[in-house]
Structures are given as structure tokens and as C-alpha cells.
Amino acid sequence: MSRPEVTDTPELVAAIGNGQRYAIAAALNLLDDRRKKSRQSAARLLANLQNDPQHSRGQLIGITGPPGAGKSTLSAALIRVWRQRDHRVAVLAVDPSSPISGGALLGDRLRIQTSADDDDVFVRSLSNRGQFGGLSAEVWPMSIVMLAAFDIVLIETVGVGQREVDIARLCDTTCYVAQPGSGDSVQFLKAGILEVPHVLVVNKEDMGAVAVRTRSELESALNRTHPDGDWQVPVLSTSAATDKGIDALADVLEKHYQQLVSGGRLSARRRGYQSYWLHKRLQEEFGNAGIERLGGEKALLVKLQAQDMNLYEEYETLRQLL
Amino acid sequence: MSQDTVKRDRPWMMRTYSGHSSARASNELYKTNLSRGQTGLSVAFDLPTQTGYDSDHPLARGEVGKVGVPINHIGDMEILFDTIPLGQMNTSMTINATAPWLLALYVAVAERQGVDPTQLQGTTQNDVLKEYLSRGTYIFPPGPSVRLTTDLITYTVQNIPAWNPTNICSYHLQEAGATPTQELAYALSTATAILDAVQASGQIPAERFPDVVGRISFFVNAGIRFVEETCKLRAFGRMWEALTGERYGVTNPKQRLFRYGVQVNSLGLTESQPENNVQRIVLEMLSVTLSKNARARAIQLPAWNEALGLPRPWDQQWALRMQQVLALETDLLEYGDLLDGSPVVEAKVQELIEGANAEMARVEAHGGMVACIDNGYVKRELVQSHTRRMRNIESGKLQIVGVNCFQESAESPLTAGDESGIMKVDERAERDQIASLQAFRAARDQAKVDDALLQLRNAANDGNNIMPPSIECARAGVTTGEWSEVLRQVFGEYRAPTGIDISPINHGGSDALDKVRARVHQTGEELGRPLRLLIGKPGLDGHSNGAEQIAVKGRDVGFEIVYEGIRLTPAQIARAAQEEGVHLIGLSVLSGSHLELVDDIAHELEKIGASSIPLVIGGIIPEEDARCLRNKGLKAVFTPKDVDMNAIMDTMVTIIREANGLEPLA
């Protein structure tokens, strides 16, 4: 028996809201689909999801950092803590793809091992699909679907250059994982190459002195007040291998979210980030000339942020226009 | 010279790796083999026993008694050696993660037979490090695994002096694709990692350390390039002699000998024209016997039909007879070393030693062998080598008779007939084993069991040697699953790196590669998104070479690959397929439990509403089972004779197109 393909948008929206795994999977497949007809259905689906605030209560967390910093094991440890706290968790794991064949090994799933009988954890891997530097275009829409069904949505990616910037301008809370013993993170921060994260983590505390040194270097390199304003950036030590410091990290991530919500800034922020994302996609697809035809970057961003419009529908409309 | 006066060397130990169905059936097989002139026993355990599960554990379903004998407790072990006097037997046990436990059971059975355990002779493979790289029967993370390995070594050196506590294996490295240089380097790096750990454990006084070094033995492989393989074994001997002297200061020449047993290559055995495997096996045997100074101490040969399925007793007898003919009929054992002084051999040996030393230095630079397991360095190197080998077979650069050349053949009478030339495991074996296990559990003294398990837990936590409480557990009637579960709780479980994240080997590609790549791309375009393939290894079988090669090839032709490594449950596979939105699931099963596992996965897919995803399977699957699987709805069944990986990829594209209602491609 195979379940009939869900084409009816309201039904799919309802099933996603109920956390039906087959529906979430189907929606993610749809958002991945570049055929014209699918894009139209996808736009309808996202418009429906966005119109209902019920469907965007979750927290969108980005976790990034250099290769080898232990992001995946840290994510796995966080998921365990979140599950103990009865949060439902979805993960979008972004892996690089081969520029030659377009093929990719989606390996993060292996490192984020979860129990097979836990209905409240859902992992989708995504290859970077040749997006030069940045995150692939599907990340934003997929995160919207996941936010509709889960309490926490975690986007995990190797953060270097544009990808790290992208993730910082997409998530409610960004967590940067530094590699002990490597001065890179400190240099990036000082040089302003790194967007300032909301939380800095030195994982692999079990490495001892070298981890302690990296932590103190980060503490001194960092202006602790986040550009967002009233947020002091904490520097935490964790060890995913021995489960140390994970609870404290989960606490801090939650605290940041509560502050956004209680300050009433969450939806404005998301809107700002989503406008940025949308602008970037249009620029990638149609170049600066395209953006000029829409009245230029500034006007476009103002328009997108000010008006009460559905961004994804608008995105598709603008694409058609161009 | 007259034949009567010639002094012949004593032949090596002749064994057959065997065990199946149940302790009773295996016991009968052993007694038959011994009566046919076999001089030692080599016990094959089934996968649940090797990975620490009782026969009634859900993960054991379909695996009980398949690739070896199920041993759940002392009762099973007692039956396995019924009327075989352990005091006079030399028993080799292929057991790794649960090696301390199986040795504990062996000791406890010896006690019951009235044999003084200090007199026991034999071998526990006890090399978990290679399990992370090949074969896959590890349980715990590398750190605790090394500790269990060293505990067994220090215990036997002090209490069972004639025991070979560990057999460092290069065998499985070659099966995973290692070149001779890599085999030398990784096996010797493993040996030093273990000896260093024994030294660091402080359980052995410095003056007794040479005894430990002297007890280390090896288990190697011999492939079809038999000249090079002979040289490899000479290189092994020299490198080991140097290492034991320089690194550990051992002076007694006897303790510096490279002692090894061998199983010749199974990787090169073919499913097509399987009778050709006989000459392959004989030539490979020659490589480990030809040079007297580098001759094997013990040999076991695979059966000619291993690539088809499980060998029958007759097939194993044939393998034994090959050894007997070489040792008894030929004049090989009448001479000194035939290769000493050959400049050709000497140059090759030197080349191998230099290459191996360089690779050992790289392992050291990456943090040593244990770190190289965890960081994936060695596994990636092996996957890389194996990929190269597969590409060479595909391109015809590496010729394999009957596979990529001379494929035409008359019908073989060997594979005709009702049994198709392989062994069938009695389906009742699993049920009977579970029933007897449950009866055993019901009849034992639970308080004694609980107490023994508590002692075991304490030793695991406190760092005391694991052997004494394990032997106590064996006496008390603890089961394999219980012993392992306590240690799982203390040490945790582990998933090893898959090693498939290597860079593509030949970018340019052949015409066939380019064609498949174009088809993958086009089909992805038509379906609106890149094609996704989930490669699943269900069950306890850890032979992952095939799965890894398909993963690498799939990536290279443009698939997005989801591969999570070995030992997944059917539920995990079904869920991953749905969550990841894959277009096709490819399963890999080599343990013979394909029928049960496919049923379970189909059931799980249906349960979550994902049964529209097409399924294919690869593995050692007899034709009769392949038919059965196709009837169950599998879209393709690949076996070892499918060496053209581009063709496999192409078939998968076709299946995806069909499943999604696309027109066939021209």
C-alpha cells in the first residue's frame, strides 16, 4: 500500500501541524522540487503555513563552525537534552556536494544518530547543491515547514565564509562552535569576518588545557555585547563526548529565544532575515540587473519588510515578473 | 637420494573455519573434521554471539546460526566441545568484541571437563581495532575496546601461558581493499598500539613484558599475486623482528618471531565459474608455505563456493584435502628456504618494507592507530584502495578470469542439482536455540547471576581486569547478551567512520561513466530534484565493502547518498528513507539473512506509508533466494558477479524512472 500523494494544500498543512512524519517528508520533497508546477504548490503551502502564527512558534537555531570542531556530536548531545525536556526537534544537516558530479555524501545523519522509535526527532540532510559559498536555496523554505511541526529546528553546517553569514542571517539564534587549539576562530572574530554569534562554544573540553586557552582567547577577543543590543554573548565549554556542559548550553539557547519573544522582536527579526534571504536568492538568479528592475536593493528590502505580504508568494511573483 | 631417509618438516596446523546452526550440530561437524585429519579447531561464531546479543534479541532475528555457531551460555559451550578433550585440543576462536567472554566460557567448560585451565592451548582473535575498519563486529568505542583486549592479554600471559591471546589481523584489511604495503603498515601499527596499551596498563611487570611480545601472533591474508604475497610475509617477519627489538627491547629471538596463521583470500573468489576458485586457493596457499622462513603456522582455506553461499561439509573437506596434498604428497617440506638469496625477492621485500615504514609514519603523524580509527584516516585510505581496485576490474586493467574476461562457460555440474551447491541452514535452528536459551534462563540461580553481573560491572567501572569476573559470570550461567549489556552500559556504544568521504578518483571518467552521470542528471531534472539513494546495511553483518563502494560510485555519478554505516534496524532504514525523501533504497546483506531482513524492511516501510520507495539488494544471494526476493517486489538483486558498477548505477536509474512513471531512456 502506498499513501496517495498529498496534493491538497490545507490537508497537507494540517498534517504538518499535527507532526505527521509522512506529511513533513512530502512537504520537504515538494520544496526541493524545481519544476514549475511544484514551485506553485510549494508557494501555496508556505503561504498557508506563514499565515498561521500557530505554525511558527518554534525556535530556529543555527549551529556552525569549522570542520572538526565537533558540531555533529554536539548537536546529537543537544538533541538528547532537548528530548529529555520534551521538546520536539528537527534537524537540517547541510553537507557539501561535489562540484564535478553534483553528487554528495550526506554524512551528518550518521553522526546525529537518533533512536528509531522516537517520533519527535526528524532529520533531513541537504547537500549544498553547488551554491557558491552560501547555503542552498532550499534551507529557508524547509526551515519554515519544520518550524510548523517542531519546537526546535536546528540547522547544522560547516561555517566558513558566506555560509556562516547566511546561517547567521536566517536563524533566531546562532551558535558558533570553535575548534580548540585553532586560532582561526579568534582571528575571524577580530577581523570581523565572522558574524558575531549569540552563543560561542568551545567543544571538546575533554582536550584539557588547549580548550581552556581557546576559551579565554575567545573571551578576550570578543566584544561581549551582541550587535542585536541587549544580549551578552556567553562563551561556554562543552564536551559532547562526556555530556558535560550540554544542559547549560541548552539553557542559554532557550534564554536567548525567550528574550526575543518577550521583547516582541521575534517576528520582525524573522521578517528582516527572510527579506534578506529573498533578496539574495533573486540576486543570485537574476543578477544585479534583476534587482535594479525591481527598483534597487534598498527599495526592495523596504518594501518586503514594511508591507504585510506573504514573502514566499511574493518571491514567486517577483520571479515570474523577472 | 632415497625418499625414506629425507627429513621432512612438521606440517603446519590444518584447520577449517566452521560452525553453524547450533552447538550440537557444530560439535558433530568438529568431530567429523578431526576424524578426517584436521589437527586443530577453528570456531566460527554467529553474528549475535560476536556482537553481544542473545539469540532471542530482536536484532538477532534471522542471524542465529547463520555464519557460525550461536553460543549464549556455558551450556552451549559445553555441548560445543562435548567429548572433545580441551586439554589436548588447540582451538582458535574468531571472536573479538566479546573475546573475553568466550574465553571465560572456554575456561569454565575446561574446569567442568576436569582440565586445568593453565594447560589450555589455542587462540582468541581479540583484535577489535580491525573490526572498525572491516568486518564490523565491534561494540564499544575504541578506548574501552583496547582495554578489554589488553585485559585478556595480561590475564592469559599470567594464567594460561600457552594461549595466543590476540591474533592481530591483516586478513580483513586486505578484504577491505588494503594493498600489501597497507596490510603491513596497519597490522604492525595495530600490534604496537596494543603492546603500548599493555605496557601502559601496568598489569605486567617490566621483566615479563617480553613474554607478552612473544605471545602476539598474526592472522594474515594471501591474495592471488602470490609472488608479492610471499615477499610480503618475508617483510612482515623482518619488520616484526626489528620492531620487537628496537621498540620493546626484546632480545630472545624466539620472542621476536613473526608467528602467523592464515586464511587465504576470499575477496578474489568469484561467483562466476566458481570452480576456478580451486586453483586460486591453491596458488594462494603456496604463497604462505613456499618460503620456509616465512611459513604459516596454521592454515585455513576457504571453500570454492564461498561467493555463492555457505559451504557444505564436503566443500570444507575439499579445502582441507588441498592442504594435505601440499604438505604430505609434495616435497615442499623437505627443503630449506627456497627464496633466500634471490635478488628479485630481496628487492621486492625491501620495497614493501620501505613503503610500509612510510605509511606507519603517517599513521603515527595522525595520532597512532587508535586515533586513526576514530578520525577515519585509515578507513578512508582503505576505501580509496578498494575503489581503485574496483575501477581497475571495471576497466579491464585488472583481469579476472570468468569475470571480466573469458566469461563464456559450459554449464557447471558443480552448481547443478537441488542444493545449487551450497549449504542450507535449517530454519528450525533459530527457534530451537531460542527455546533452549529460555529454558536455560528459567532453570538457573538468578541470585548468583545477579551477583556475578554486579562484580563484572564493578570491575568494568574500577578498571580491574575483566577476566576473573567474566569467568565467574560464565560459571554462574550469565548469558552472552547479559555480559555485553553490562559493558554497553558502562562503556557506551560506538559507530565507526564509514570512510566513504574520499575525493573522486578519476574525474575525467570513461564513456560509460559519463553516460550514467548524464542519465542521473537528466532523471533528476525530470523529477525536479537531484536523485537520492539510501544505502542501508540492515542486521548485524558488518561486511561493508560493497555498501561503501556503491556509496562512493553513487556520489561520483551524481546521486545524493545517504549512508549511515552498518548494523541498522529495519525501522531505522525505513525512517531514514522517508525523512530524507530518497528515490531508491539499496540494501546490502552478506550474512545470509536477506529474506528475513527484506520482509522486515518492507513491513516497516508500509507501516509509515513509504512503501512506494523501490527497493534493490546486493549481497551473497543464491539464485533461488534471488527469485524469491524478486517475487516479494524487489526491483533488482545484485550479487558478486555484478562487477560493472556503471551498469548497477544505470539499472538503479531505470528503476527510479519506472517507479516515477517516466519514459525509459534511449
Burial class (CB in 10 A: 0-12, 13-18, 19+), B330: exposed
pLDDT recorded at residue B643:
86
Measured CA to CA in angstroms, residue A29 lies from A42, A44, B578, B604 at distances of 10, 15, 10, 20
Please judge whether B563 and A105 are an interchain contact, meaning their C-beta atoms are less than 8 angstroms apart.
yes
Which residue of the set B130, B543, B553, B583 is catalytic?
Answer: B543
List pLDDT tens digits, range B478-528: 999 999 999 999 998 888 888 888 877 655 567 888 999 999 999 999 999
Q: How far is A298 from chain B (nearest CA, A)?
A: 33
Chain B positions touching A76 (Cβ under 8 A) are none
Measured CA to CA in angstroms, residue B438 lies from B22, B69, B405, B479 at distances of 15, 17, 53, 11
Please judge whether B608 and A33 are an interchain contact, meaning their C-beta atoms are less than 8 angstroms apart.
no
Which of A3, A28, A104 lies nearest to residue B581, judging by beta carbons? A28
pLDDT recorded at residue A193:
62
Range scoring the smallest mean pLDDT among A1-5, B151-155, B446-450: A1-5
Output the 3-class SS for chain A: CCCCCCCCHHHHHHHHHCCCHHHHHHHHHHHHCCCHHHHHHHHHHHHHHHHCHHHHCCEEEEEEECCCCCHHHHHHHHHHHHHHCCCCEEEEEEECCCCCCCCEECCHHHHCCCCCCCCCEEEEEEECCCCCCCCCCCHHHHHHHHHHHCCEEEEEEECCCHHHHHHHCCCCEEEEEECCCCCHHHHHHHHCCCCCCCEEEECCHHHCHHHHHHHHHHHHHCCCECCCCCCECCEEECECCCCECHHHHHHHHHHHHHHHHHCCCHHHHHHHHHHHHHHHHHHHHHHHHHHHHCCCHHHHHHHHHHCCCCHHHHHHHHHHHC
List pLDDT tens digits, range A94-132: 876 666 667 788 876 766 666 667 889 999 998 877 555
List pLDDT tens digits, range B42-87: 999 999 999 999 999 988 988 999 889 999 999 999 999 999 999 9
Predicted confidence (pLDDT) at residue B215 exceeds the cutoff of 70: yes
List pLDDT tens digits, range B426-481: 778 999 999 999 999 999 999 999 999 999 999 999 999 999 999 999 999 999 99
Among B352, B246, B208, which residue's Cα sits nearest to residue B294? B352
**How far, in Å, CA of B513 to CA of B507, rounded?**
10
Chain A, 290 to 319: residues with Cβ < 8 Å from chain B are: none
A114 → chain B, closest CA residue = B572
Please judge whether B571 and A117 are an interchain contact, meaning their C-beta atoms are less than 8 angstroms apart.
yes
Among B599, B540, B586, B600, which residue's Cα sits nearest to residue B567? B540
Please judge whether B551 and A106 are an interchain contact, meaning their C-beta atoms are less than 8 angstroms apart.
no
**How far, in Å, CA of B316 to CA of A188, rounded?**
64
Grade residue A2 by pLDDT with cuts at 50, 70 and 90: very low
Please judge whether B558 and A101 are an interchain contact, meaning their C-beta atoms are less than 8 angstroms apart.
yes
Measured CA to CA in angstroms, residue B278 lies from B266, B306, B431 at distances of 12, 11, 36
Alpha carbon of residue B196 to chain centroid: 25
B209 secondary structure, DSSP code: H
Please list, in sequence order, all residues whose beta carbon lies within 8 angstroms of the beta carbon of residue A224, skipping any fewer than 6 positions away.
Answer: A232, A233
Percent of chain B with pLDDT over 90: 79
Longest dimension (CA), chain A: 60
Which residue of the set B537, B583, B594, B635 is catalytic?
Answer: B537
Q: Residue B537 catalytic?
A: yes
Please judge whether A103 and B571 are an interchain contact, meaning their C-beta atoms are less than 8 angstroms apart.
no
Most trustworthy range by pLDDT among A289-293, B420-424, B562-566, B574-578: B574-578
**How far, in Å, CA of A136 to CA of A93, rounded?**
11
pLDDT recorded at residue B313:
83
List pLDDT tens digits, range B277-302: 999 999 999 999 999 999 999 999 99
Contact (Cβ atoms closer than 8 angstroms) between residue B333 and residue B325: no
Interface predicted TM-score of the whole assembly (ipTM), two decimals: 0.91
Please judge whether B528 and A38 are an interchain contact, meaning their C-beta atoms are less than 8 angstroms apart.
yes
Longest dimension (CA), chain B: 81
Q: Residue B543 catalytic?
A: yes
> Collapsing DSSP states into helix, strand and coil, what is residue B274?
coil
Among B18, B42, B20, which residue's Cα sits nearest to residue B164? B42
pLDDT recorded at residue A108:
67
Q: How far is B54 from chain A (nearest CA, A)?
A: 21
Query: Given CB atoms, is A107 within the 8 Å cutoff of chain B?
Result: yes
Q: How far is B666 from chain A (nearest CA, A)?
A: 21
Among the residues of B120-166, which ranges form H helices?
129-133, 142-159
Contact (Cβ atoms closer than 8 angstroms) between residue A125 and residue A109: yes
Cell numbers describing residue A307: 508591507
**How far, in Å, CA of B245 to CA of B518, rounded?**
57
**How far, in Å, CA of A268 to CA of A264, rounded?**
8
Neighbouring CB atoms inside 10 A of B208's CB total 12
Among B549, B629, B558, which residue's Cα sits nearest to residue B594? B629
Q: How far is A286 from chain B (nearest CA, A)?
A: 20
Q: Residue B73 catalytic?
A: no
Which of A32, A100, A104 lies nearest to residue B581, judging by beta carbons? A32
Which residue of the set B138, B155, B171, B248 is catalytic?
Answer: B171
Please list, in sequence order, all residues whose beta carbon lies within 8 angstroms of the beta carbon of residue B622, skipping any fewer than 6 positions away.
Answer: B308, B309, B420, B422
Q: Directed axis angle between helix B226-246 and helix B276-287, to 10°?
A: 30
pLDDT, average across residues B162-188: 95
Please judge whether A101 and B579 are an interchain contact, meaning their C-beta atoms are less than 8 angstroms apart.
no
Output the 3-class SS for B226-249: HHHHHHHHHHHHHHHHHHHHHCCC
Range scoring the smallest mean pLDDT among A219-228, A285-294, A306-315, B437-446: A306-315
**How far, in Å, CA of B13 to CA of A309, rounded?**
82
pLDDT recorded at residue A7:
59
Q: How far is B59 from chain A (nearest CA, A)?
A: 13
Strand (E) or helix (H) holding B623: helix B623-631
List pLDDT tens digits, range A28-63: 999 999 898 898 888 889 888 877 777 778 899 999
Show the beta-strand stretches assigned E in B196-339: 217-222, 260-264, 298-300
Report field, pTM of the whole predicted structure over 0.80: yes
Most trustworthy range by pLDDT among A203-212, B62-71, B151-160, B313-322: B151-160
Please judge whether A32 and B580 are an interchain contact, meaning their C-beta atoms are less than 8 angstroms apart.
no
Q: Residue B541 catalytic?
A: yes
